[in-house]
Amino acid sequence: MIGILGGTFDPIHYGHLRPAAQVLLALDLAEIRFVPTARPPHRKPPEASYEHRLRMVELAVAPHERLHVDDRESRIAGPSYTVLTLESLRAELGEQPLCLLIGSDAFRGIESWYQWRRLLQLANIVVMERPGSPMSTVAQLPSWAQEHVCRDKDELADKPSGMLWLQHVDPQDISASGIRAMIEHGQSIADLVPHAVWDYIRRNRLYHYKD
């Protein structure tokens, strides 16, 4: 199974990396591909350029053997819709089981996504949820989602698409917007991002960094 984790990663931080590592181990994924969003359709443009965000993700995942970067959204014209990214991956990987990793907050808004019903035709969905939070049990899911819930990891590994899996992950009280605000106010973010990412931000003076 291959995991797919998209996001603006503006910047990438441990709130992205730690849950991804938990899912990687829990589901024994062959790899997780981090897919930086080129042109997000549902939010204002990222503060850092695509090239900077891509490079920060490359630096963040470099020490991890099964974490990789996928830059395909930079080559897809128009808004970076997840369904188009999955179509591209599916065309490349054939019937390889794909798992789209989504945080619970994003999943709650999934019905607003472009052609959202096609997502499960192209991949399995893994909802990363904190224990005890909304949607942490099958009964709390929308009715359409309950029909796709998978309760066996082996079944998930056998299906190219169409399954939904709830994966509990440890809470991470970290946000990219909070990190950007800290940088702008001259605070260190050394505990929130990998050292290589923090060094890159400082060297390139991203997010209004000042010495």
3-state secondary structure 108-136: HCHHHCCCHHHHHHHCEEEEEECCCCCCC
pLDDT at 135 (0 to 100): 59
Alpha helices in 82-206 (DSSP H): 82-93, 104-108, 119-122, 143-146, 153-158, 176-184, 195-204
Assigned domain for 76 exists: yes
- What range defines the domain where residue 129 resides? 2-173
- What CATH code is carried by the domain that includes residue 6? 3.40.50.620
**How far apart are alpha carbons 141 and 126 in whole angstroms?**
13
pLDDT at 131 (0 to 100): 66
Encoded tokens for 91: 């065309």
How many separate domains does the chain show? 1
Q: What is the mean pLDDT of each run of 10 residues along the chain (211 residues)?
A: 97 97 97 96 90 98 97 92 96 96 92 96 94 67 91 92 95 94 96 98 95 81
H or E element, residue 57: helix 50-61
Assigned domain for 183 exists: no
pLDDT at 56 (0 to 100): 98
**How far apart are alpha carbons 2 and 179 in whole angstroms?**
29
**How far apart are alpha carbons 82 and 35 in whole angstroms?**
10
